[in-house]
């Protein structure tokens, strides 16, 4: 045919089901399987082909099919139920926030990546899932919250294995018309554009909105005709480029992100930096204050007073640091805009690095984030501890435990990852409103009423679905790689539904040690092929495109999976994403995680598995160190670190095999009822992990520990044109200048030995160099083992200070005396950054 033109006829929703379109644009459907089913039923084929994307499905579906659904009473009944649930969710008045967080001010949350659903691939892994889940629970709890991120047109990447199990990356250009996003419009209904100057180029940024239940996510986009081709690529790929691109993306997220909030009149009084990627938001926030007439230091105090920073990684490569001259290129104008010296600004981010054998100053995103916030946290108790150690050097004179980095242990959004079958089963024993109080530990005790049989029935169904899914995926992969018909046919015997099935899926960062299981292949072969108690494994995960060692891990597992004794029993699946993740956490019997402790800041996939009754089997790192209670899963290795990594790997691998052979497999294939039955562990896992590691608990912790206190501090420091912030800034400058002129000497009158209950006298002589006594804390510090206690000394005659200190328990005490300057309104005692020990 000679084509003279083309036209697309878009299907029209019949009025009976008109709201399918509205619902498609609210990610409420992403954690609501019965809502998803409304779309799936219109065309199961399109649903699968387009990554379960309702917007796309409504663009592609046949008009006839829509008309038929609109006349189908059963469909309409389900439609009405979904819409009623959706309306109840959106319209709910007596929410958690109304009763618990009325004084909270609106939060702006910044993250480089978000994982909401597989059809919106703007995430790479756990950090994104955490951010997406945080948004979902912010919506569930109804806190005032807006998220800011980037619209990556090519997302992360699609992972393809070649014939030899080597990872290749494919980048698909997203078609924005098929995504559940709208251009953001201001009150006047006009599309919003903001702009940002980077390296002298004025870059236009379009803002999109994504509705996630009750809250909004703003996504920044530079792919606009008015931008150069280079600048259009700023929002092409997540973690795609070199350092130069990274810095520019950070400027974009931080600076354009704040401008987008302002352009849309989005209220924000607390700012949450999710990882150091977001730290440059502070540049723009300080600029606003400077433009409003504040000096740099007062602007710094004001901006920081309402900012929270969450750090996510103890791995050095995860904490970006850039050479100063690179920063000059991209933020060179900012010292001028902020009326600050270059060294004054960069000094807030300075972290000297060993480069080419020299120590050179570098601009660290983490250091900048720590200095630009007045609250910081790690993402598990152990990670908090590790972070305090890592960043102790920023607080000279402070004990590690005093470093002002706390922790909120991560959670996961239960409903996003819990299978519909498990939800239905839970609904038979939990109260009607269980999905609204997921963090309620007492409520979850009702899980004990579930019978062994009920649980195993649901789990068997989920496992069948997973195996079918895996076979389908592997078949596609083999066909694409030109495998023989015999090999393709073999897929039908891949994995066995009666075999204990262990899942391992996550990013293939090397510290996660995906190949630890292969350390003793003979022993593994015996475990896998045990005639009475066989075990099979499913792996999945992406390596960063530049991470060849990570790709080599993938290939190693792939090759092992092709060896005769492992074939069909060890499988590695392509393209790990949220879809694959859901199948695996819902379908396996056990979830395995064996990172090199203490590098797994938290980990969350094991939580998702436990929600579905798959107990966790993991190194006591991150969340599992808190979650494991002796009966709800299994540990690997001991609660310790090793100097020799090889020794650590050996010890952990040995323990892994040992537990599998002696505890886990015998239990799985053993008693069907009672305290030692498999179902008993399953119930414990669901009951204990679901509330404590719910995202709902996590967000509540953030509200109470950080969002509310920062709301109050931020307001206090910024009121009346930042009067208090100015006083604090002035005071800090003054004490820093005086500090070198101060001095302290001290004596402790200590007997050689003492009895519990005895008192000792500690005294000090201080030259405060003009710092007022009420602004100086002179204190004795007593250390006994891990315990550190502080006792203020009382100001006596002249320059002397003293105190009697009770030694209330036995043990070896170390005594020290120090002083530090304090003023009302600081976020913590170390904020001035000055400590002097006698
Ligand atoms: C939960 C999840 C992760 C995080 O897994 P970890 O075990 O915390 O590393 C990564 N990717 C996807 C797709 C997930 O769903």
CA 69 distance to own-chain centroid: 40
Tens digits of per-residue pLDDT, 40-78? 999 999 999 999 999 999 999 999 999 999 999 999 999
Tell me: pLDDT of 235 over 80: yes
| Ligand 1 atom having least distance to the Cα of 602 | 8
Tens digits of per-residue pLDDT, 140-179? 999 999 999 999 999 999 999 999 999 999 999 999 999 9
Q: Which two tokens stand for residue 493?
A: 């015997």
Question: Cα(604) to centroid of ligand 1, in Å?
Answer: 6
Q: Which domains does the chain have, with CATH numbers?
A: 15-91 (no CATH), 106-159+168-387 (3.40.50.2000), 453-672 (3.40.50.2000), 742-837 (2.60.40.10)
Binned at pLDDT 50, 70 and 90, residue 316 comes out as confident
- The residue to mutate among 30, 117, 130, 604, having the most atoms of ligand 1 within 8 angstroms of its beta carbon, is 604
- The residue to mutate among 119, 412, 505, 591, having the most atoms of ligand 1 within 8 angstroms of its beta carbon, is 505
- Through-space distance between the first and last CA atoms of the chain, rounded to whole angstroms: 92
Closest CA to 689 of 411, 458, 423, 432: 411
Better-scored residue on pLDDT, 570 or 639: 570
Angle between helices 420-427 and 452-480 (to 10 degrees): 170
Tell the residue nearest (CA) to atom 12 of ligand 1. Answer: 125
Binned at pLDDT 50, 70 and 90, residue 27 comes out as very high
Tell me: pLDDT of 761 over 90: yes
Q: Which two tokens stand for residue 46?
A: 């399109």
Residue labelled with tokens 């649903």: 47
Question: Cα(574) to centroid of ligand 1, in Å?
Answer: 15
Cβ count near 634 (within 10 Å):
22
Query: What pLDDT is recorded for position 752?
Result: 85
- The residue to mutate among 115, 124, 416, 627, having the most atoms of ligand 1 within 8 angstroms of its beta carbon, is 115
Stretch 81-94: mean pLDDT: 97
Stretch 720-731: mean pLDDT: 97
Query: What pLDDT is recorded for position 317?
Result: 76
Q: H-type helices in 279-380, by residue range?
A: 281-291, 296-305, 324-331, 334-337, 342-347, 365-371
- H or E element: which one contains 378? strand 375-378
Could you tell me what percent of the chain has a pLDDT over 90?
A: 93
Residue labelled with tokens 């820093």: 736
Tens digits of per-residue pLDDT, 559-617? 999 999 999 999 999 999 999 999 999 999 999 999 999 999 999 999 999 999 999 99
Query: What pLDDT is recorded for position 394?
Result: 95
- Mean pLDDT, the chain, whole residue set: 96
Q: How far apart are CA 205 and CA 664, in angstroms?
A: 54
pTM of full prediction above 0.95: yes
Q: Which two tokens stand for residue 524?
A: 């593994």
Tens digits of per-residue pLDDT, 650-663? 999 999 999 999 99
| Ligand 1 atom having least distance to the Cα of 581 | 15
| Ligand 1 atom having least distance to the Cα of 582 | 15
User: CB within 6 Å of ligand 1 — which residues?
Assistant: 125-126, 129, 506, 576-578, 581, 593, 603-605, 608
Question: What Å distances lie between residue 734 and 293, 398, 432, 737, CA to CA?
Answer: 21, 21, 60, 5
Tell the residue nearest (CA) to atom 8 of ligand 1. Answer: 603
């Amino acid at each position: 045919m000679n084509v003279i033109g083309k036209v697309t006829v878009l299907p029209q929703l019949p009025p009976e089901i008109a709201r399918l379109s509205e619902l498609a644009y609210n990610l409420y459907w992403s954690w609501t399987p019965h809502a998803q089913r409304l779309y799936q039923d219109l065309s199961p084929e399109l649903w699968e082909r387009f990554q379960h994307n309702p917007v796309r499905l409504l663009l592609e579906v046949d008009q006839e099919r829509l008309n038929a659904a609109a006349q189908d009473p059963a469909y309409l009944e389900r439609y009405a139920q979904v819409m009623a649930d959706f309306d109840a969710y959106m319209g709910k008045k007596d929410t958690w926030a109304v009763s618990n967080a009325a004084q909270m001010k609106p939060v702006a949350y910044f993250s480089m990546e978000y994982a909401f659903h597989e059809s919106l691939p703007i995430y790479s892994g756990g950090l994104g899932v955490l951010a997406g889940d945080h948004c979902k629970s912010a919506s569930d709890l109804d806190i005032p919250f807006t998220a800011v991120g980037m619209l990556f047109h090519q997302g992360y990447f699609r992972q393809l294995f070649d014939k030899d199990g080597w990872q290749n990356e494919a980048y698909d250009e997203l078609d924005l018309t098929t995504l559940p996003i709208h251009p953001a419009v201001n009150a006047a209904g006009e599309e919003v554009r903001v702009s940002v100057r980077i390296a002298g180029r004025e870059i236009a940024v379009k803002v999109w909105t994504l509705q996630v239940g009750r809250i909004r996510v703003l996504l920044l986009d530079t792919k606009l005709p008015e931008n150069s081709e280079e600048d259009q690529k700023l929002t092409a790929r997540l973690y795609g480029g070199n350092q130069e691109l990274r810095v520019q993306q950070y400027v974009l997220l931080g600076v354009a992100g704040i401008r987008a909030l302002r352009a849309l009149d989005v209220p924000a009084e607390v700012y949450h930096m999710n990882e150091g990627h977001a730290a440059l938001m502070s540049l723009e926030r300080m600029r606003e204050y400077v433009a409003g007439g504040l000096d740099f230091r007062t602007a710094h105090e004001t901006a920081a007073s309402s900012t929270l920073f969450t750090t996510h990684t103890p791995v050095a490569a995860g904490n970006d640091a850039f050479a100063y001259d690179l920063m000059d290129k991209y933020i060179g104008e900012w010292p001028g805009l902020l009326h600050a010296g270059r060294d004054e600004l960069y000094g807030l981010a300075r972290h000297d690095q060993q480069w080419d054998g020299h120590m050179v100053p570098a601009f660290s995103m983490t250091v900048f984030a720590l200095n630009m916030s007045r609250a910081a946290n790690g993402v598990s108790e152990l990670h908090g501890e590790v972070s305090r150690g890592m960043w102790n050097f920023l607080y000279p004179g402070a004990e590690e435990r005093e470093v002002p980095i706390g922790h909120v242990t991560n959670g996961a959004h239960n409903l996003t990852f819990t299978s519909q079958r498990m939800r239905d089963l839970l609904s038979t024993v939990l109260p009607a409103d269980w999905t609204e109080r997921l963090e309620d530990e007492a409520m979850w005790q009702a899980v004990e009423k579930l019978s062994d049989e009920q649980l195993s029935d649901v789990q068997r169904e989920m496992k069948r679905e997973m195996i079918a899914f895996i076979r389908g995926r592997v078949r596609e992969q083999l066909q694409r790689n030109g495998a023989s018909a015999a090999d393709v046919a073999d897929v039908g015997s891949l994995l066995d539904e009666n075999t204990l099935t262990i899942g391992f899926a996550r990013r293939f960062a090397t510290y996660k040690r995906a190949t630890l299981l292969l350390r003793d292949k003979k022993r593994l072969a015996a475990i896998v092929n045990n005639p009475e108690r066989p075990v099979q494994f499913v792996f999945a995960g992406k390596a960063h495109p530049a991470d060849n060692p990570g790709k080599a891990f993938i290939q190693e597992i792939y090759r092992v999976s092709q060896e005769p004794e492992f074939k069909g029993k060890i499988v590695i699946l392509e393209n790990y994403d949220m879809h694959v993740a859901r199948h695996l956490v819902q379908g396996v019997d056990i979830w395995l995680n064996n990172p090199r402790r203490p590098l797994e800041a938290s980990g969350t996939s094991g939580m998702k598995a436990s929600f579905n009754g798959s107990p966790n089997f993991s190194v006591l790192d991150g969340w599992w160190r808190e979650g494991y209670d002796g009966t709800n899963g299994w540990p690997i290795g001991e609660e310790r670190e090793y100097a020799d990594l090889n020794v650590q790997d050996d010890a952990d691998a040995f323990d892994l095999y040992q537990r599998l052979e002696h505890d886990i497999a015998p239990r799985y294939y053993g008693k069907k009822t009672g305290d030692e039955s498999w179902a008993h562990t399953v119930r414990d896992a669901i009951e204990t992990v679901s509330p404590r590691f719910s995202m709902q608990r996590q967000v509540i912790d953030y509200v109470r520990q950080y969002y509310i206190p920062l709301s109050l501090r931020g307001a206090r420091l910024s009121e009346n044109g930042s009067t208090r912030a100015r006083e604090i800034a002035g005071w800090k400058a003054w004490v820093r200048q005086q500090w070198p002129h101060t001095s302290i000497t001290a004596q402790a009158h200590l007997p050689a030995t003492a009895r519990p209950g005895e008192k000792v006298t500690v005294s000090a002589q201080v030259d405060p160099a003009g710092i007022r006594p009420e602004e100086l804390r002179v204190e004795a510090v007593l250390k006994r083992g891990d315990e550190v206690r502080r006792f203020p000394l009382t100001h006596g005659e002249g320059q002397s200070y003293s105190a009697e200190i009770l030694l209330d328990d036995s043990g070896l005490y170390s005594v020290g005396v120090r002083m530090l300057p304090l003023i009302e309104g600081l976020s913590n005692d170390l904020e001035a950054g000055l400590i002097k020990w006698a």
